[in-house]
Structure 1
Amino acid sequence: MTELRWATFDCFGTLVDWRHGITTGLELLFPGRGAELLEIHNRIEPQVQAEKPVRRYREVLAESVRRTAAEAGLELAPDDASVLGTGLPYWPVFPDTRPALTALREAGWRIALLTNCDRDLIGETQRRLAVPIDAVVTSEDVGSYKPGHAHFERFAASFGATRDTWVHVAQSHFHDMVPAQALGIPRVWINRHGDPHDPSIADAVLPGLGDLVATVERVHGS
């Protein structure tokens, strides 16, 4: 019997354009300020996640919006804090996502998502991915957020994945590359924005998903 090979992915930032989604959502509330507020939000959100890891992601987003607006000195209507959670199911999929996932499946890989998200939100996002996903582990499932190790540990325990059968693919150096390295999981960093983090902790670095199958195969075989 052929052993299953797993490619796990972070979703938002890797497969889905979260920067566009967050910027657009904040722009709806504060026209002309979206890009500026994105940078504040990106700094605040991991703090909110770390404070209370069992907090649902919808509330993480809402609390991050509240704190982002407060730091920027902007008045936020209470009901408007839900803008990102409401809009998340419509955040755009990167153009290279569906071809890359389809090619991986055709090459015999199983695909899983290890995501800092709620079950209902990732369910809506899977509809937009339009490629079959074999397994999903959410923050709601494990009661914590990456860069904690619980997503990876739950996936390994549930599916028997080991470093010999598993490659993790993600955009976030902080949330994904660092814990995957610590756990000895082979990993591909999708550095879409040219972030100046240490590339040596990844087994391979790509600017997008265009050459993913060959890269995953190479990392898996190394």
Structure 2
Amino acid sequence: MPAKPLTSFRYLSFDVVGTLIDFEAGLVAGLREIAAEDGVDIDGEAALTLYRTARYTTDALRFPDDLARVYGAIAPALGLRPDPALGARLRASVAGWKPFADSVAAMAQLRQHYRLIAMTNAQRWAFAHFDTALDHPFHAAFTTDDTGTEKPDPAFFHQVFAFVETEGASRDDILHVAQSQYHDIGISRALGMTNCWIERRHAVPGYGGTIAPAEFTPPDYHFTSMAALADAVAMEFV
């Protein structure tokens, strides 16, 4: 059973890319657009596996600027031209990545009950596009440019804890909502937060474009969509 009722939180903190923004669909669409110009077909899951391997390396840059480098690394295996201009184009496509179908409505519902905080490994320029696509639901936002680090680094989370303390709250007042076991669910548990796993890939095997965790962390709350979380909150606040 969940450790705390949903009504007990003042804040919901969110992973953005993968939880609210459909980064896998956006990435595959960007690659397929490039591939179509050369008459090449791309298997989406294969492309995500290649992306995951190329993304998490010691020479990785901040996301999504790193997509230009990643493109050059994976293009040959996909039968694409390793042209730096195409890598730059893939990076630029991020500005058009869309929210999941339920994200905007769910966030609008949730902001009626909580202060919403974005915690994203994306750079600030990309988050600005995502925030607009989500209809600006956030009370505060922390990007990798702001924190100087990426989740699952505890330092990222500690900056958020320091922020809510300025508003008279603590980590106990936050429910952390995310799809990534590796970046969010495991570390939030280790830091003593209550968490909520949005299992976006519940109908698809594997971890797709997200690195697999060393071990699975059972979440405090578990939904397969943001809509289901919003509905659960609405039921508790009746």
Name the structure 1 match of 2:54.
44
SS of corresponding position for 1:169: strand
Name the structure 2 match of 1:202.
219
Q: Equivalent residues in 2 for 1:18-97 (5 A)?
A: 18-31=23-36, 32-33=41-42, 35=44, 36-45=46-55, 47-48=56-57, 51=58, 55-72=61-78, 74-97=80-103
In 1, Cα distance between the equivalents of 2:235 and 2:162? 25
**After superposition, what is the alpha-carbon deviation per residue over 1:52-98, rounded to whole angstroms, capped at 9, x for unaligned?**
57x33233221111111244464311111123321112111112111
Q: Once the 2 structures are TM-superposed, how far is the Cα of residue 218 of structure 1 from its aligned partner?
A: 10
Corresponding letter in the other structure for 1:188:
C
**After superposition, what is the alpha-carbon deviation per residue over 1:3-43, rounded to whole angstroms, capped at 9, x for unaligned?**
98110101111111111100001112223115122221023
Pick closer, same or farther for the CA change 1:163–1:143 going to 2, 3 Å: closer
SS of corresponding position for 2:171: coil
Asked if residue 103 in structure 1 is aligned to residue 109 in structure 2, the reply is yes
Asked if residue 135 in structure 1 is aligned to residue 146 in structure 2, the reply is no
Q: Does the 8 Å contact 1:102/1:131 carry over to 2? A: no
What is the TM-score when the length of structure 1 is the normalising length? 0.85
Cα RMSD after superposing both structures: 2.6
**Which blocks of at least 5 consecutive residues in structure 1 are unaligned?**
none
Corresponding letter in the other structure for 1:165:
D
Q: Does the 8 Å contact 1:9/1:170 carry over to 2? A: yes
SS of corresponding position for 2:19: coil
SS of corresponding position for 2:128: helix
Pick closer, same or farther for the CA change 1:163–1:58 going to 2, 3 Å: closer
Name the structure 2 match of 1:168.
176
In 2, Cα distance between the equivalents of 1:168 and 1:18? 19
In 1, Cα distance between the equivalents of 2:233 and 2:53? 30
In 1, Cα distance between the equivalents of 2:193 and 2:59? 26
The number of residues matched between the two structures is 212
Greater Cα offset, 33-42 or 132-141: 33-42
In 2, Cα distance between the equivalents of 1:134 and 1:84? 30
In 2, Cα distance between the equivalents of 1:69 and 1:99? 36
In 1, Cα distance between the equivalents of 2:192 and 2:30? 37
Pick closer, same or farther for the CA change 1:97–1:22 going to 2, 3 Å: same
Q: Does the 8 Å contact 1:7/1:169 carry over to 2? A: yes
Name the structure 2 match of 1:149.
154
Pick closer, same or farther for the CA change 1:216–1:43 going to 2, 3 Å: farther
Asked if residue 113 in structure 1 is aligned to residue 118 in structure 2, the reply is yes
User: Sequence identity, in percent?
Assistant: 28
Pick closer, same or farther for the CA change 1:58–1:99 going to 2, 3 Å: closer
Task: Indicate the structure with greater helix content.
Answer: 1
In 1, Cα distance between the equivalents of 2:64 and 2:200? 25
SS of corresponding position for 2:162: helix
Q: Does the 8 Å contact 2:118/2:138 carry over to 1? A: yes
Higher RCO (CA 8 Å, separation ≥ 6 residues): 2
In 2, Cα distance between the equivalents of 1:84 and 1:92? 15
Q: Once the 2 structures are TM-superposed, how far is the Cα of residue 178 of structure 1 from its aligned partner?
A: 1.3
Q: Once the 2 structures are TM-superposed, how far is the Cα of residue 159 of structure 1 from its aligned partner?
A: 2.2
Q: Does the 8 Å contact 1:181/1:201 carry over to 2? A: no
